Amino acid sequence: QVQFAESGGGLVHSGGSLRLSCAASGRIRSIYTMGWYRQVPGKERELVASITGGGRTNYADSVKGRLTISRDNAKNTVTLQMNSLKPEDTAVYYCYCNVPPTYWGQGTQVTVSS
The DSSP element (H or E) to which 21 belongs, if any, is strand 18-26
Provide the pLDDT confidence category of residue 32 given band limits of 50, 70 and 90.
confident
Lowest mean pLDDT among 24-28, 46-50, 63-67, 80-84: 24-28
The pLDDT value given to residue 100: 84
